[in-house]
A = this chain, B = another copy of it.
Amino acid sequence: MNQDYIKPDNWSIIEEDFDPGRVKSSESLFSIGNGAMGQRANFEEHYSGPSFQGSYIGGVFYPDKTKVGWWKNGYPEYFAKVLNAPNWIGINVFIDGEALDLFTCKSVNNFKRELNMKEGYLARTFEATLPNGTEIEVKALRFLSIVDDELGAIKYEVTPLNKDAKISFEPYLDGGITNTDANWEERFWKTHEVKNEDDKGFIVSKTLKTEFHVGTYMQSEIFLNAEKQELKPEVKEDEDSIAFSYAVNASKGQTAVIIKYAGYVTDMNHEQSDLVVAASAVLKNALDKGFDVLKNEQKDAWAAIWEMADITISGDVKAQQGIRFNIFQLNQTYLGKDERLNIGPKGFTGEKYGGSTYWDTEAYCIPFYMATKDQKVARKLLSYRYNHLEKAQENAAKLGFSNGAALYPMVTMNGEESHNEWEITFEEIHRNGAMVYAIHNYVRYTGDFDYIPEKGLEVMIAIARFWHQRANFSKEKNKYVILGVTGPNEYENNVNNNWYTNYLAKWCIEYCVSMIDKVKDGYEDDYHRIMGLTSLNEGEIAKWMEVAEDMYFPRSEEHNVFLQQDGFLDKEIIPVSDLSSNHRPINQKWSWDRILRSCYIKQADVLQGFYFFEDHFSKEEMERHFDFYEPITVHESSLSPCVHSIQAAVLGRMEQAYQFYLRTSRLDLDDYNKEVEQGCHITSMAGTWMSIVEGFGGMRVQDGQLSFKPQIPEQWDAYSFKINFRDRILKVDVSSGKTNFLLEGEGSLEILVNDKLLEVHPNQAVSV
């Protein structure tokens, strides 16, 4: 844990006291989003201290020219950057002509920020003494509507405390923004039009190269106490920005209020020529309803999300706050409405990593969305990859693969590869396996086998072809080997026979072949369509199977474990516990060659395979591998603790499972990796959910049967979660020694609890 200023609270993230040194961290942690857009928790008023401004629109990206020291054939020319979009939250505030700026105030008291996760808003209050001596109280509250996802609303209140004062509000839109993460310090946006109609302001901008057109808009209302002021604003326009200026004379104790409605409309959803019209319609609707109605709608919409997705934990506020923060951020990032979007590793909280889609979605996020939303949402996430199949095939062709083999990109926004480190881009090919695993996981959980003939099988065939070509026969080993890869543990590069990769490759081929057989049996038309489309024949399948059946797996007889890769035991194996804390995190303290030569594992690698294919191995095998690998794992990837938490739970090591749970659930709140300023780790938050539901709750699905093996950390009194299993809603309440199941809807459901069959009848709680 590297910070602990966030106040424990069941439903809110709370910061008290103003500390400029924490501003960037808090900007990440207090981020808000609505699945379509999102933003860091920058202040509305001008702030001259260190800050990282960010406002992002889902799907809108810039193909930044690749930056590398030495070019390698096969690198993508462009890197899809998450784009800082025009700023619409800005409200300059002047008190008797002096700008309010928390960085320069004489004093700031009773500062409080609250991210209210239950109702979906960000609030801030403080009292400040300006350099000119005026004391004011400020309350600011804003939200991004998840009901109308093009709309944001801000209520900003100023009360002079020690004298009468002239309060000027200057709400503005600014299109002249830059990216913190830019390779060449180029501008990413061009402003087309700056325009005002009465008290409505518009900026129409387009992204360079990608030519996304975005309309940013605003309209404000001014009140003195509760009384609306009919003011004609002064308008200031320049090339990239527009501001309206409103002045109100407030007596001491009176409150001047501005409500600003603003947001984005884009040509992903409207005609380019209609952006101003579309924005006007959003504004009209917003002003008709008014701030309070909109805020209530927001509350209700979040209530509906929480109704399904909430996990409660009794007796451990920090754990409760952690899981809700995770669930809240996941929902802010992706609501499953738009097939073109995905779950960026930083969501709408920062720019690092670029692109929006990593194998994180398939390996970590799918289970969360499958169980807490309609199963169509997970299907959309799978279809996203299906829609990118052609680009994955082009990508593989660029690297020298043929016959329609596909290599999905390491990072992407539109299906094209965006990453350009050779050891990742070209070698971290296990990601291809996650695509297939996600299909398998989806079909296993939802029973929606139709997805396979409809879309999944084409993806699986292209990936089987990749693995077949990527392996080669080693005369030395008399087996097929996969050389030159990087596994999930990115602290090893260009290794031979990464066990996880080899295992996934073999499994992908076998699973694909078994699915071809199933489609052949039950979906004859699809079978012929797909075989025709792919020119696949039995001879080719036989060649794949040869690779799968004769795959090599590195193994240590001495330790009786699979080895992470060839030669792993040539390393000095020194447990992390023997490593002085001033060497950690090693990715900040050590040179890269030292990391590579060391035995230390960034994130679960062999254990990731045991997580995916738990049913392929005995518990004893899992235990042996856990005991071999966990002690040399530094968990410097956000994706590591959750897998270990689940496996520790399986192994009945609840204290260890709980520690891993805390680490995954409060990774950002407590800033374990000393980098939360750059944004939150969104995708690993789905891993936190898994560590409760699959870890403590022990939920599994096998052969269409839902099963649980509930356990509870001794720190907790009780916890509960809800899942949507094949359109049935099941609530699970676990307390020490007892688990309650409550099924919604009609018809009973047979589940396994601790390997025993249990019939659950609708609306009748049953305890075990």
Binding site for B on A (CB under 8 A): 66-70, 72-74, 398-400, 420-423, 426-427, 472-477, 481, 483-484, 493-497, 566-567, 569-572, 587-594, 596-597
Q: Which residues of B contact A477 (CB under 8 A)?
A: 570
Q: A66-B69, A474-B569 are in contact. List 8 more A-B contacts (CB 8 A).
A: A67-B69, A69-B69, A74-B591, A400-B590, A400-B591, A472-B571, A494-B495, A496-B567
Contact A594 B400 (CB under 8 A): yes
Contact A592 B73 (CB under 8 A): yes
Q: List 28 A-B contacts (CB under 8 A).
A: A67-B67, A67-B68, A67-B69, A69-B421, A70-B421, A72-B591, A73-B589, A73-B590, A73-B591, A73-B592, A74-B593, A400-B594, A422-B592, A423-B494, A426-B591, A426-B592, A472-B571, A474-B571, A475-B569, A476-B569, A476-B570, A477-B570, A481-B570, A483-B570, A484-B593, A493-B493, A496-B570, A566-B566
Q: Which residues of B contact A472 (CB under 8 A)?
A: 570-572, 597
CA distance A484 to B571 in the complex (A): 10
Distance from A377 Cβ to chain B, minimum over Cβ atoms (Å): 33
**Which partner residue on chain B sits nearest A589 by CB separation?**
B73
Summarize A's interface: helix, strand, loop or mixed: loop
Contact status of A597 and B484, CB under 8 A, knowing A566-B567, A590-B400, A591-B72: yes
Distance from A723 Cβ to chain B, minimum over Cβ atoms (Å): 38
CA distance A570 to B481 in the complex (A): 7
Contact status of A494 and B596, CB under 8 A, knowing A477-B570, A571-B472: yes
Contact A398 B570 (CB under 8 A): no
Contact A593 B427 (CB under 8 A): yes
Q: Which residues of B contact A476 (CB under 8 A)?
A: 569-570
CA distance A67 to B420 in the complex (A): 13
Q: Which of B68, B484, B591 contacts A399 (CB 8 A)?
A: B591
Q: Which residues of B contact A569 (CB under 8 A)?
A: 474-476
Distance from A475 Cβ to chain B, minimum over Cβ atoms (Å): 7
CA distance A66 to B69 in the complex (A): 8
Q: Which residues of B contact A594 (CB under 8 A)?
A: 399-400
Task: State the number of copies, please.
Answer: 2
Q: Which residues of B contact A566 (CB under 8 A)?
A: 566-567, 570
Contact B69 A426 (CB under 8 A): no
Contact B496 A494 (CB under 8 A): no
Q: Which of B69, B70, B494 contacts A494 (CB 8 A)?
A: B494
Contact A593 B422 (CB under 8 A): yes
Q: Which residue, A473, A496, A588, has most C-beta atoms of chain B within 10 A?
A: A496
5 interchain residue pairs of minimum CB distance:
A74-B591, A426-B593, A476-B569, A72-B592, A474-B570
Distance from A111 Cβ to chain B, minimum over Cβ atoms (Å): 35
**Which partner residue on chain B sits nearest A572 by CB separation?**
B472
CA distance A593 to B74 in the complex (A): 9
CA distance A596 to B400 in the complex (A): 13
Distance from A262 Cβ to chain B, minimum over Cβ atoms (Å): 36
Contact A591 B398 (CB under 8 A): yes
Distance from A125 Cβ to chain B, minimum over Cβ atoms (Å): 40
Q: Which residues of B contact A427 (CB under 8 A)?
A: 593
**Which partner residue on chain B sits nearest A473 by CB separation?**
B572
Q: Which residue, A68, A398, A481, A596, has most C-beta atoms of chain B within 10 A?
A: A596
Q: Which residues of B contact A495 (CB under 8 A)?
A: 494
**Which partner residue on chain B sits nearest A591 by CB separation?**
B74
**Which partner residue on chain B sits nearest A429 by CB separation?**
B593
Q: Which residue, A399, A420, A473, A571, has most C-beta atoms of chain B within 10 A?
A: A571
CA distance A477 to B572 in the complex (A): 12
Q: Which residues of B contact A484 (CB under 8 A)?
A: 593, 596-597
**Which partner residue on chain B sits nearest A424 by CB separation?**
B70
CA distance A483 to B566 in the complex (A): 12
Q: Which residues of B contact A426 (CB under 8 A)?
A: 591-593
Distance from A302 Cβ to chain B, minimum over Cβ atoms (Å): 37
Q: Which of B68, B589, B596 contacts A69 (CB 8 A)?
A: B68
**Which partner residue on chain B sits nearest A497 by CB separation?**
B570
CA distance A422 to B70 in the complex (A): 11
CA distance A527 to B278 in the complex (A): 85
Contact A399 B69 (CB under 8 A): no
Contact B591 A483 (CB under 8 A): no
Distance from A75 Cβ to chain B, minimum over Cβ atoms (Å): 8
CA distance A588 to B475 in the complex (A): 29
**Which partner residue on chain B sits nearest A66 by CB separation?**
B69
CA distance A608 to B499 in the complex (A): 34
CA distance A477 to B569 in the complex (A): 9
Q: Which residues of B contact A591 (CB under 8 A)?
A: 72-74, 398-400, 426
Contact status of A483 and B422, CB under 8 A, knowing A67-B69, A591-B74: no
CA distance A67 to B644 in the complex (A): 37
CA distance A293 to B67 in the complex (A): 52
CA distance A73 to B72 in the complex (A): 21
**Which partner residue on chain B sits nearest A67 by CB separation?**
B69
Q: Which residues of B contact A74 (CB under 8 A)?
A: 591-593
Q: Which residues of B contact A483 (CB under 8 A)?
A: 567, 570-571, 596-597
Q: Which residues of B contact A398 (CB under 8 A)?
A: 591
Q: Which residues of B contact A400 (CB under 8 A)?
A: 590-591, 594
Q: Which of B68, B399, B593 contacts A593 (CB 8 A)?
A: B399
Q: Which residues of B contact A571 (CB under 8 A)?
A: 472, 474, 483
Q: Which residues of B contact A481 (CB under 8 A)?
A: 570
Distance from A700 Cβ to chain B, minimum over Cβ atoms (Å): 36
CA distance A628 to B468 in the complex (A): 28
Distance from A289 Cβ to chain B, minimum over Cβ atoms (Å): 47
CA distance A484 to B484 in the complex (A): 13
Q: Which residues of B contact A572 (CB under 8 A)?
A: 472-473
Q: Which residues of B contact A592 (CB under 8 A)?
A: 72-74, 422, 426
Distance from A9 Cβ to chain B, minimum over Cβ atoms (Å): 37
**Which partner residue on chain B sits nearest A493 by CB separation?**
B494
CA distance A399 to B472 in the complex (A): 35
Q: Which residues of B contact A497 (CB under 8 A)?
A: 570
Distance from A552 Cβ to chain B, minimum over Cβ atoms (Å): 9
**Which partner residue on chain B sits nearest A427 by CB separation?**
B593
Q: Which residues of B contact A473 (CB under 8 A)?
A: 572
Distance from A145 Cβ to chain B, minimum over Cβ atoms (Å): 37
**Which partner residue on chain B sits nearest A492 by CB separation?**
B494
Q: Which residues of B contact A423 (CB under 8 A)?
A: 494
